[in-house]
Amino acid sequence: MCDRLSPEASLYSSGTGTVQTDSDRVCCKATFAVIGALCRVVRRQWDAVGTRQQNGTVHLSLCSLYPGAVFLLRLVSPTAAARPPLATSRARALPLVASLRRFLATTASPAGGKHTFDFVAQRAVDYFPYGKSDFQAIRNAGRFFVDNTAAVRELAKLDHAILLRPPRFGKSLLLSTMRAYYDYKSAGDFAALFKGLKAAEGDDPLRSSFHVLHIDLSLSVNQKSTLEDLETRLNENINAAIRDSVQTYALAVDINETNSAISLKNFVRAVRATPCPRLLVLVDEYDRYSNKLMFENPETYLKFVSGTSGVASSSPIRSFFETLKSLDSAGLEQYRTFTTGIAPLALADASGANHMENVTFGRQFADSFGFTERNIVQALHDIGQTNKEAQSHVIRRMRTYYNGYRFAASVEPVYNSTLCLFFLKQ
């Protein structure tokens, strides 16, 4: 919402502008009359209401039309007692316009200050981290974050686990959160990053005590991908992850460009020689490539994923998971792995992963992904949309398109988190 426009003018979008002079009143009434007429013509679909200030007088002008969403405009006078009421339903049907906020933010008030004109739309653009999965960046920027971090503490009880969820449900964000939680290099930032979150409750001797290796297996594949192409990309992805960790922890590791399994074993030896001989391996998108290969290039899928039962080196993916399993006997003080993916098919075919516990249907993780309706309402509150009617309108629309997922023992249906963030940001 809006905090303040200026001491000289207090205007709100009820269509009955409250201003300081008769000329201002006439200007506002005329403007809202035009707005009302155009609303009926274009079915309440709007763009920007541009604002400029001259000598302490506020003028409004219609800039353009735009397929809009619900918005709530409120200009608040300098004192709380003088704050005008919330906008009427007609004004709430207008869209939010970031350009107006930017204009006012750079326009000096008569008192020599700056306008603080917080539109819900601009807040949404800045606040909702659509397409972002970096926990540390999201928390440092104070952006919207649903606290599902209790799952991090639950996963600490397991040595090797895998969890499956549909795309765009926050799996990569969970891994980023785990990295920040367990990485000993993040110990100095732990209090700030996890303040108020469930993961920070109580004591946990394992937090901030691991080297973390974060491997992304979302390989690019197509119908023409050959086994050699995919093996090269797999080695490149694993070696890139190792290089990132080597740089983070200042380790000396020999990277084998053609055999990432050798690189991985060299990395483990370097970790074992440190004062903190603990390693957590996070594997993201373990089957993104395989799900596509399975349908578009099944012959390559069989060679790249399945291989020959009982022969560890018969496929690159089988070899990768066999290598991870073999590190249990590498002499580390603590060694853990956590893997995410979409479906169990590739996991079953690459049977080298049979040491991992599948917690997909675990009751403790049922509500750890996606947004509940309460989360959506909180998101609207956070950007200043507290009007119940407007909230109900948004919830009804989102319920239609993004709601209805249930995982194992879910208490209530959940919303697809990434799609919700996209909707809210718009």
Residue 225 confidence (pLDDT): 84
pLDDT in tens, 306-326: 877 666 677 888 889 989 999
Higher-confidence position of 46 and 37: 37
End residue of a domain, out of 77, 93, 120: 120
For position 315, what pLDDT does the model report? 85
What is the predicted pLDDT for the residue at 89? 31
Residue 47, CA distances (Å) to 2, 99, 203, 331, 384 in order: 18, 10, 51, 63, 19
Dist. CA 239–CA 216, nearest whole Å: 11
Max Cα-Cα span within the chain: 88
Strand pairing category for 57-62 and 49-54: antiparallel
Worst-scoring range by mean pLDDT, 71-85, 257-271, 380-394, 395-409? 71-85
Q: Indicate whether 116 pLDDT > 80.
A: no
Same domain? For 178 and 245 the reply is yes
**pTM of the full structure:** 0.70
Specify the range with the lowest mean pLDDT, choosing from 18-32, 249-263, 317-331, 397-411. 18-32
Query: Is the same domain home to 36 and 79?
Result: yes
Rounded CA separation 47/93 (Å): 11
Query: What CATH number has the domain bearing residue 234?
Result: 3.40.50.300
Q: pLDDT over 90 for what percent of the chain?
A: 34
Cβ pair 164, 342 in contact under 8 A: yes
**Amino acid 88: pLDDT:** 35
Q: Alpha-carbon Rg of the chain, whole angstroms? A: 27
Q: Is residue 10 part of a domain?
A: no
CA 383/CA 116 separation, integer angstroms:
15
3-state class of 139 per DSSP?
Answer: helix
pLDDT for the residue 28: 41
Q: Averaged over 79-107, what is the pLDDT?
A: 36
Query: What proportion of the chain, given as a percentage, has pLDDT over 70?
Result: 69
Domain assignment present for 209: yes
- The verdict on residue 3 lying in a domain is no
Instruction: Please give the Cα distance from 185 to 207 (Å, whole number).
Output: 11
Residue 157, pLDDT score: 82
Rounded Cα–Cα distance for residues 381 and 386 (Å): 5
pLDDT band at 237 (very low <50, low <70, confident <90, very high): very high
Paired tokens of 135: 């926990």
Residues 378 and 355 occupy one common structural domain: no
Q: What is the pLDDT of residues 329-345, one digit of tens each?
A: 999 999 999 999 998 88
Same domain, 342 and 209: yes
Q: Based on the structure, what is the number of domains in the chain?
A: 3
Is the same domain home to 250 and 314?
Answer: yes
Q: How many CB atoms lie within 10 A of CB 142?
A: 9
Which residues make beta-bridge pairs with 210? 183
**Is residue 101 within 8 Å of 51, Cβ to Cβ?**
no
How many CB atoms sit inside 10 A of residue 284's CB?
Answer: 21
Choose one of 304, 325, 360: the last residue of a domain: 360
352 or 328, which is more confident?
A: 328
Q: What is the mean pLDDT of residues 43-59?
A: 31
Helix (H) or strand (E) holding 69: none
Same domain, 194 and 310: yes
Local confidence band at 251 (pLDDT 50, 70, 90 cut-offs): very high
Q: Is the pLDDT of residue 253 over 80?
A: yes
Question: In this predicted model, what pLDDT tens digit does every residue of 278-316 receive, in sequence order?
Answer: 999 999 998 888 888 888 888 888 888 887 766 667 788
Q: Write down which residue in 66, 90, 120 finishes a domain.
A: 120
Torsion angle, CA of 318/321/326/330, rounded to 10 degrees?
Answer: 140
Q: Which among 411, 391, 380, 360 is positioned nearest to 169, based on CA atoms?
A: 360
Residue 296 sits in the same domain as residue 330: yes
pLDDT band per the 50, 70, 90 thresholds, residue 96: very low
Q: Are residues 102 and 202 in the same domain?
A: no
pLDDT in tens, 126-171: 899 998 999 999 999 999 999 999 889 888 789 999 999 988 889 9
Range(s) of the domain holding residue 311: 135-360
Q: Is residue 14 part of a domain?
A: no
316, 168, 135, 157: CA torsion to nearest 10:
-60
What CA–CA distances, in Å, run from 119 to 49, 72, 97, 134, 316?
Answer: 12, 8, 7, 26, 52
Please check whether residues 338 and 189 belong to one and the same domain.
yes
CA–CA distance, 358 with 367 (Å, rounded to integer): 16
pLDDT in tens, 200-231: 998 888 999 999 999 999 888 877 888 899 99
Flag whether 16 is in a domain: no
Residue 78 domain-assigned?
yes
Looking at the structure, tell me whether residues 234 and 201 fall in a common domain.
Answer: yes
Please check whether residues 72 and 201 belong to one and the same domain: no
pLDDT tens track for 355-374 = 889 998 888 888 788 888 88
Q: Identify whether residues 43 and 77 lie together within a single domain.
A: yes
